[in-house]
């Protein structure tokens, strides 16, 4: 028996390393902190380098399980606290999802097992494998790339590579640099010097900007209603929420007023009489623009689903704008075939939405006496798919000036989910070079600059509005123009080189 298998604490150590890695992302400078923790992970996995493939994959799975159980623990809140699912079943669901995602981490670590010759290039092979598997995680079964290594880099050394090569390049450099540090005791200069040089190079690259300010600042009001998700299951709670958001939007004099996902949380055909009409009258009176979440009626002839998760935009003298969420959350917003029994285990309505098109036009913001602006809309979970957003901007026939994300994270209570999604929004701003507006029900409502930095934000779980302004930008970053193709090509070539080298030795 291999020595690592005689000591089961080595498996538990990898679980612990994974848990610490997930927690570290929540800390200030989390992207810096994660790198030495990843170094410990590689050290732990190397204890299984000469074990069987089955046991090496199990070790990788233990690391991933620790990482995702901690990082995705907020799913328990939505299932148990909000959905009233049985405690044991809720815990089982979190562990099963974490196990599924951990499989990708185990597969991404395989170069440490197969590439027998340890060399300077091994870190490149490992990083390349990680990038390609993370890309696969974003596509397989509609994709669940949440909690990747890249988003922590908005507070780390490699975030500034994102406008050039996207978040996957941040992942590549984080994995590569952590592998380099593993050999610091044997080859201090050869380990640290390349990492230091790459960090300096990335910081220098960050001095260039591919987008520029355009026009005058836009006055905004981002409405945070702070309504408990449990209110959605009671008609009087729904009415209270609809009244609040409607009244705030009608009173506002800001040029752009945004309310969060499902702010008006009944289907548009069932809203109180005159709700949408009164909002349109307010827009005509104030000559401003409203954007808010609603349940839209949209019968999809492909799947027969009747309702959509919609953002509705109102301008004066312009037809209403509709954006239907295109990348839906499995089980949360659509039920995969054969799994209706699972969703029926807890009573959550409207969990099988129709899917919107992936090529919907941007939202036009009409300003009195000024030229229009255009915003790319995402709803909640869509903010995790940077490649899809870049593709929309690349193929848009209108210049995109800012990003808008509307979200309702009340499902997840006081957890790390709002902070995780804020970092995703920061990464999207970095990739596109555009400012972003985040309007959320319970937090984190924020204004982000084109460099991904938070300009202003509201405290979580407060009922108030963030009133301020945002400077529109114009232009396209290399990442928007080229997408993930360059980093995927680089990673593929590195992995191919690794396979060729392995055969030679």
pLDDT per residue as tens digits for the range 234-258: 778 889 999 999 999 999 999 999 9
Residue 350, pLDDT > 50, answer: no
| 148 pLDDT tier (thresholds 50, 70, 90) | very high
pLDDT given at position 418: 95
User: How far is 492 from 308, CA to CA, in rounded Å?
Assistant: 38
Pairing of strands 218-224, 464-470: antiparallel
CA angle 176, 177, 183 (to 5 degrees): 100
Q: 115: alpha, beta or left, given left = phi > 0 and alpha = psi -120 to 50?
A: beta
Residue 149, pLDDT > 90, answer: yes
Other C-beta atoms lying within 10 Å of the C-beta of residue 158: 27
Cβ atoms of residues 385 and 418 within 8 Å: no
Token look-up 């239907």 returns: 324
| 344 pLDDT tier (thresholds 50, 70, 90) | low
Residue 343, pLDDT > 70, answer: no
- Report percent pLDDT > 90 for the chain: 69
User: How far is 476 from 434, CA to CA, in rounded Å?
Assistant: 9
Pick from 119, 124, 128, 114: which is nearest to 187 by CA?
Answer: 119
Total-model pTM: 0.93
Long-range contacts of 316-320 (CB under 8 A, 24+ apart): 316/283, 316/284, 316/287, 316/288, 316/366, 317/284, 317/366, 318/364, 318/366, 320/280
DSSP string, 272-339: PTTHHHHHHHHHHHHT-EEEEEEEEE---TTT---EEEEEEEEETTEEEEEEE--SPPBTTTB--TT-
User: How far is 306 from 298, CA to CA, in rounded Å?
Assistant: 5
Mean pLDDT of the chain, nearest integer: 90
**Residue range 130-157: average pLDDT?**
93
Residue 117, pLDDT > 70, answer: no
Question: Coil, strand, or helix at residue 88?
Answer: helix
Question: Coil, strand, or helix at residue 243?
Answer: helix
User: Looking at the annotation, which residues are catalytic?
Assistant: 261, 325, 380
Cβ atoms of residues 28 and 423 within 8 Å: no
More confident residue, 327 or 212: 212
Burial, 410: exposed, middle or buried (Cβ in 10 Å; 0-12, 13-18, 19+)?
buried
Lowest mean pLDDT among 18-22, 110-114, 455-459: 110-114
Residue 140, pLDDT > 90, answer: no
More confident residue, 453 or 119: 453
Residue 424, pLDDT > 90, answer: yes
Residue 291, pLDDT > 80, answer: yes
Lowest mean pLDDT among 319-328, 336-345, 404-413: 336-345
User: How far is 76 from 82, CA to CA, in rounded Å?
Assistant: 9
Q: Where exactly are the structural domains of the chain?
A: 3-208+484-504, 212-476
pLDDT given at position 481: 97
Cβ atoms of residues 142 and 327 within 8 Å: yes
pLDDT given at position 502: 74
Cβ atoms of residues 340 and 326 within 8 Å: no
User: How far is 340 from 329, CA to CA, in rounded Å?
Assistant: 15
Cβ atoms of residues 431 and 166 within 8 Å: yes
CA distances from 242 to 10, 190, 249 (A): 53, 61, 11
Report for 91-105, 175-189, 266-280: range of highest mean pLDDT: 91-105
**Residue range 346-363: average pLDDT?**
75
> 25-83: per-residue pLDDT in tens?
999 999 999 999 999 999 999 999 888 999 999 999 999 999 999 999 999 998 888 87
* Strand-pair partners of 461: none
Torsion sign across C-alpha atoms 415, 417, 422, 426: positive
More confident residue, 12 or 143: 12
pLDDT given at position 330: 75
User: How far is 415 from 431, CA to CA, in rounded Å?
Assistant: 26
Tell me the CATH class for 212-476. Answer: alpha beta
């Amino acid at each position: 028996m291999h020595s690592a298998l005689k000591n089961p604490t080595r498996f538990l150590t990898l679980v612990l390393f994974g848990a610490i890695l997930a927690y570290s992302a929540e800390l200030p400078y989390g992207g810096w902190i994660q790198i030495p923790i990843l170094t410990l992970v590689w050290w732990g996995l190397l204890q299984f380098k000469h074990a069987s493939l089955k046991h090496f994959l199990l070790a990788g799975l233990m690391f991933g399980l620790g990482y995702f159980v901690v990082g995705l623990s907020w799913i328990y809140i939505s299932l148990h606290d909000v959905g009233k699912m049985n405690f044991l079943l809720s815990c089982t669901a979190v562990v099963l999802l974490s196990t599924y995602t951990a499989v990708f981490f185990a597969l991404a670590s395989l170069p440490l097992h197969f590439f027998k010759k340890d060399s300077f290039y091994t870190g490149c092979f490992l990083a390349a494998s990680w990038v390609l598997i993370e890309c696969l995680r974003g596509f397989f079964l509609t994709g669940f790339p949440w909690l990747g290594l890249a988003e922590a880099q908005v507070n780390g050394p490699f975030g500034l590579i994102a406008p050039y090569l996207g978040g996957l390049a941040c992942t590549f450099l984080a994995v590569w640099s952590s592998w380099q540090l593993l050999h610091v005791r044997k080859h201090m200069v050869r380990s640290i010097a390349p990492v230091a040089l790459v960090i300096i190079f990335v910081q220098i690259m960050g001095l260039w900007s591919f987008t520029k300010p355009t026009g005058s600042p836009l006055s905004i009001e981002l409405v945070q209603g702070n309504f408990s998700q449990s209110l959605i299951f009671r008609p009087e709670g729904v009415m209270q929420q609809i009244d609040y958001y409607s009244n705030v939007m009608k009173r506002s004099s800001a040029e752009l007023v945004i309310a969060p996902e499902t702010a008006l949380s009944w289907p548009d055909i069932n809203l109180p009489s005159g709700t949408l009409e009164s909002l349109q009258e307010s827009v005509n009176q104030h000559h401003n623009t409203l954007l808010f979440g609603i349940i839209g009626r949209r019968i999809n002839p492909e799947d027969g689903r009747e309702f959509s998760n919609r953002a509705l935009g109102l301008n004066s003298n312009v037809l209403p704008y509709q954006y239907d969420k295109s990348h839906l959350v499995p089980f949360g917003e659509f039920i995969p075939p054969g799994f209706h029994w699972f969703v029926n285990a807890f009573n959550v309505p409207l969990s099988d939405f129709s899917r919107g098109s992936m090529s919907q036009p941007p939202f036009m913001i009409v300003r009195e006496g000024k030229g229009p602006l255009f915003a790319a809309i995402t709803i909640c979970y869509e903010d995790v798919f940077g490649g899809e957003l870049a593709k929309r901007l690349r193929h848009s026939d209108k210049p995109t000036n800012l990003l808008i994300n509307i979200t309702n994270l009340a499902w997840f209570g006081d957890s790390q989910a709002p902070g995780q999604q804020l970092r995703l929004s920061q990464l999207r701003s970095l990739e596109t070079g555009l400012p972003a507006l985040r309007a959320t029900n319970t937090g984190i409502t924020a204004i982000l600059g084109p460099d991904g930095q938070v300009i202003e934000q509201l405290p979580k779980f407060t009922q108030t509005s963030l009133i301020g302004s945002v400077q529109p930008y114009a232009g396209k970053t290399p990442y928007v123009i080229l997408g993930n193709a360059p980093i995927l090509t680089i990673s593929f070539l590195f992995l191919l080189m690794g396979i060729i080298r392995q055969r030679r030795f």
